[in-house]
């Protein structure tokens, strides 16, 4: 990936901020860890308060301004109006942060292009809804943005008369256009809902909303802002009066800062260039790879139709389809190349190696690790192994073997695609062959590349998710899953030391929750 170091540095900074916040807050309440779902909460609040506004708002050029100006700042209508304004602002802030975080976490390549492109569409739609919202107040801000909108539209060769002329006097301001803007403002949120369905279409178990405590904090913050700084109208729009100094809501009205400097054509060009950049730069950073190089493949002869991989895949990329090889099983796994991101979690679900990554073949890796253990046992020094998520620190190309050897003295460190790649039977085999310890290190990131590996692995180890580690096959005290906390790497070193001494190891970092229980159908 191009720019991997820069992205990893930004992502690392956010992960460090998370771990700092999560010393005091549970991960469920850390807004940085749930930016997309938090944006959804604000979208819902904006929609709800917008619908309520219809009780007081009058949608016409003549009465719109008065219907809002008459609301007392601390009346119910005034509070609802302010909640509508601030929840819209917070939506934009959260969406931008969510997009930035997805970029730094390298979540734009391969199958994720759909989430990326639909996300950009959503951001444009949310912005446009906000822009039309400011029009509806029909104050001097609305006057400015109406004139600037006309300036941009006048460049298009579709209108006979320049539209700007319609706004030369109050008498000629078109009521129909005002109504169209009102209609768009009401109808486009439906487009956002449809866009969101597309946005998360390639995720399993997409988190639509955050924990109720975070919802309460966010809603409380908006209510507080509404009570302390009630939203207010600027002076009423009058075409004969040039708007003077106005306070601006830059989340939505930022184009006003450039419309004065650029011509209508210049604005179209700047918009087209910005859109092309946002759409193509991630594709350029990602360097297109042939799918066969990184995606999971099924070895049908080793698939026994247990369906576990299809439940574990965080991207809904595996379906069970009718058998093609005549074996007496009801189905076989099939990977959808449009959805697979090559995370490797399915390899950890399959205890018969029926599915996995050709570039990180589980059987070959198992042979190498077993060879290492057997050789160590023969020398009289049973080795301790650490299987470290390669996404910790920015992905394979940046995996720092020296730093990991320093953090885990006495361990032979092996990067793996994700902690969820590790199949419990591999642990059982390594331990029963004599490994002193097998430590699995998860990235622990709130924006984990493989989304759910850090949930499935601890659950497999504690026996609540299949394929489960079987304590009757190997000593469970010799293995543990620990999430890496980059701000306190000494905790990992201590945990690794304790594991070698067969003492209990506590999870190092918040967010190491166990996965929802899924048991193999009997």
Which of ligand SF4, ligand HEM, none does 388 bind, CB closer than 5 to 8 A by kind? Answer: none
> What is the spatial distance between Cα 117 and Cα 113, in angstroms, rounded to a whole number?
6
- Contact partner, 39, from ligand SF4, ligand HEM, none, Cβ < 5-8 Å per class: ligand HEM
With CB under 6 A as the contact rule, which of the stretches 204-212, 293-301, 375-383, 415-423 interacts with ligand HEM?
Answer: 204-212
Helix (H, G, I), strand (E, B) or coil at 446: coil
Residue closest to 228 by CA, chosen among 59, 38, 79: 79
| C-alpha–C-alpha distance, residues 144 and 232, integer Å | 17
- Residue with the shortest CB distance to ligand HEM: 119
Q: Which stretch binds ligand HEM (CB under 6 A): 64-72, 73-81, 203-211, 390-398?
A: 203-211
Span of 162-170, 205-213, 263-271, 427-435 interacting with ligand HEM by CB under 6 A: 205-213
Residue 388 contacts residue 404 (beta carbons within 8 Å): yes
Can residue 21 be called a binding residue for ligand HEM (CB under 6 A)? no
Binding of ligand HEM by 210 (CB under 6 A): no
Q: Which residues contact 135 (CB under 8 A, 6 or more apart)?
A: 142, 145, 146, 149, 178, 181, 185
The token pair at 133 is 């919202």
Whether the link from the prior residue into 467 is cis, omega within 30° of 0, is: yes
- Per CB under 6 A, the list member of 200, 281, 283, 366 interacting with ligand HEM is 200
Task: Give 243-250 contacts, CB < 8 A, sequence gap 24+.
Answer: 243/140, 243/141, 243/143, 243/144, 244/140, 246/140, 246/141, 246/144, 248/141, 249/85, 249/89, 249/130, 249/134
Instruction: Closer to ligand SF4 by CB, 346 or 385: give it.
Output: 346
Residue 41 contacts residue 209 (beta carbons within 8 Å): yes
- Asked if residues 134 and 232 have their Cβ atoms less than 8 Å apart, the reply is no
* Closest CB 297 distance from ligand SF4, rounded Å: 9
Residues in CB range of 263: below 8 A, 6 or more apart: 155
Q: Least separation, in Å, of the C-beta of 199 and ligand HEM?
A: 5
**Kind of pairing between the strands at 318-321 and 332-335:** antiparallel
* Options 25, 32, 33, 39; binder of ligand HEM; rule CB under 6 A: 39
Tell me which H or E stretch contains 488: none
Nearer to ligand SF4, 350 or 439 (CB): 350
Is the alpha carbon torsion for 42, 48, 53, 58 positive or negative?
positive
Residues 74-103 that bind ligand HEM (CB under 6 A): 95, 98-99, 102
- Longest Cα–Cα distance of the chain, Å, equals 95
Q: Are 175 and 58 in contact (CB under 8 A)?
A: no
In the bound state with ligand SF4, the residue whose beta carbon lies nearer, of 319 and 514, is: 319
- Min separation Cβ 117 and ligand HEM, Å: 8
H/E stretch holding 112: none
Q: Quick check: 208 binds ligand HEM (CB under 6 A)?
A: yes
**Chosen from ligand SF4, ligand HEM, none, partner binding at 231 (C-beta under 5 to 8 Å by type):** none
- The end-to-end CA distance of the chain, in Å, is 43
Q: How far is the CB of 272 from ligand HEM (least distance, A)?
A: 18
Judged by CB under 6 A, which of 85, 311, 451, 481 binds ligand HEM?
A: 451
Query: Total binding residues for ligand HEM by CB under 6 A?
Result: 26
Q: How far apart are CB 348 and ligand HEM at their closest, in Å?
A: 18
Taking the complex as a whole, the smallest distance from the CB of residue 350 to ligand SF4 amounts, in Å, to: 3
Asked if residue 116 binds ligand HEM (CB under 6 A), the reply is yes
Distances (CA, A) of 520 to 75, 276, 307, 350: 57, 47, 8, 11
Angle between helices 175-199 and 35-53 (to 10 degrees): 150
How far does Cα 99 stand from its chain's mean position? Answer: 8
Binding mask 344-383 for ligand HEM (x = CB under 6 A): ----------------------------------------
Strands 411-416 and 296-298 turn out to be unpaired
Q: Please tell me whether residue 40 binds ligand HEM under the rule CB under 6 A.
A: yes
Pick 76 or 187: Cβ nearer ligand HEM: 187
346 binds, among ligand HEM, ligand SF4, none (CB under 5 to 8 A by kind): ligand SF4
Q: Which stretch binds ligand HEM (CB under 6 A): 34-42, 322-330, 354-362, 479-487?
A: 34-42
Q: How far is CA 482 from CA 243, 411, 487, in A?
A: 60, 14, 14
Q: What does R_g of the chain's alpha carbons equal in angstroms?
A: 28
Q: Select from ligand SF4, ligand HEM, none the partner in contact with residue 99, using the beta carbon and a kind-dependent cut-off of 5 to 8 Å.
A: ligand HEM
| Positions that interact with ligand SF4 (CB under 6 A) | 295-296, 298, 303-309, 313, 315, 317-318, 333, 335, 340-346, 349-350, 352, 354-355
Give yes or no for residue 122 binding ligand HEM (CB under 6 A): yes
Of residues 126-145, those binding ligand HEM (CB under 6 A): 126
36 makes contact with ligand HEM (CB under 6 A): yes
> In the complex, which residues of this chain contact ligand HEM (CB under 6 A)?
36-37, 39-40, 43, 95, 98-99, 102, 107, 112, 115-116, 119-120, 122-123, 126, 196, 199-200, 203, 206-208, 451
């Amino acid at each position: 990936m191009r720019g991997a170091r820069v992205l990893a540095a930004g992502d690392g900074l956010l992960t460090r901020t998370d771990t700092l916040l999560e010393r005091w807050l549970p991960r469920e309440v850390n807004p940085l860890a749930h930016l997309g779902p938090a944006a959804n909460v604000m979208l819902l609040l904006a929609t709800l308060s917008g619908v309520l506004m219809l009780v007081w708002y009058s949608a016409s050029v003549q009465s719109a301004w008065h219907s809002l100006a008459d609301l007392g700042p601390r009346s119910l209508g005034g509070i609802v109006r302010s909640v509508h304004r601030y929840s819209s602002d917070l939506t934009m802030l959260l969406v931008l942060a969510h997009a930035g975080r997805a970029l730094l976490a390298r979540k734009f390549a391969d199958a994720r292009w759909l989430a990326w492109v639909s996300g950009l569409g959503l951001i444009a739609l949310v912005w446009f809804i906000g822009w039309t919202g400011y029009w509806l107040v029909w104050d001097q801000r609305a006057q400015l943005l109406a004139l600037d909108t006309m300036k941009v539209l006048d460049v298009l060769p579709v209108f006979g008369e320049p539209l700007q002329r319609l706004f030369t006097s109050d008498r000629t301001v078109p009521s129909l256009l005002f109504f169209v803007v009102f209609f768009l403002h009401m109808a486009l949120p439906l487009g956002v809902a449809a866009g969101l369905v597309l946005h998360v279409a390639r995720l399993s178990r997409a988190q639509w909303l955050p924990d109720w405590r975070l919802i309460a904090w966010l809603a409380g913050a908006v209510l507080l802002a509404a009570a302390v700084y009630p939203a207010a109208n600027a002076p009423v729009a009058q075409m004969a009066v040039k708007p003077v100094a106005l306070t601006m809501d830059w989340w939505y009205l930022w184009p006003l800062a450039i419309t004065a400097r650029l011509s209508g054509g210049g604005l179209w060009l700047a918009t087209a260039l910005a859109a092309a950049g946002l759409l193509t730069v991630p594709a350029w950073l990602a360097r297109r790879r042939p799918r066969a190089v990184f995606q999971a493949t099924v070895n049908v002869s080793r698939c026994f139709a247990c369906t576990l991989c299809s439940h574990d895949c965080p991207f809904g990329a595996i379906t069970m389809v009718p058998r093609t090889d005549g074996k007496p099983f009801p189905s076989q796994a099939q990977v959808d190349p449009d959805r697979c991101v090559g995370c490797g979690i399915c390899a950890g679900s399959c205890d018969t190696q029926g599915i996995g990554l050709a570039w990180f073949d589980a059987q070959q890796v198992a042979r190498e690790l077993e060879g290492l253990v057997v050789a160590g046992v023969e020398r009289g020094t049973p080795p301790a192994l650490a299987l470290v998520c390669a996404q910790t620190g920015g992905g394979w190309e940046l995996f720092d073997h020296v730093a990991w050897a320093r953090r885990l003295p006495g361990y032979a460190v092996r990067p793996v695609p994700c902690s969820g790649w590790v199949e419990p039977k591999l642990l059982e085999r390594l331990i029963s062959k004599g490994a002193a310890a097998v430590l699995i290190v998860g990235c622990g990131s709130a924006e984990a590349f493989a989304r759910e590996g850090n949930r499935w692995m601890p659950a497999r180890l504690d026996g609540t998710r299949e394929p489960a580690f079987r304590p009757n096959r190997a000593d469970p005290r010799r293995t543990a899953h620990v999430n890496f906390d980059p701000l306190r790497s000494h905790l990992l070193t201590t945990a690794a030391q304790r594991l070698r001494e067969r003492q209990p190891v506590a999870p190092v970092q918040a967010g190491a929750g166990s996965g929802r229980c899924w048991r193999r159908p009997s």
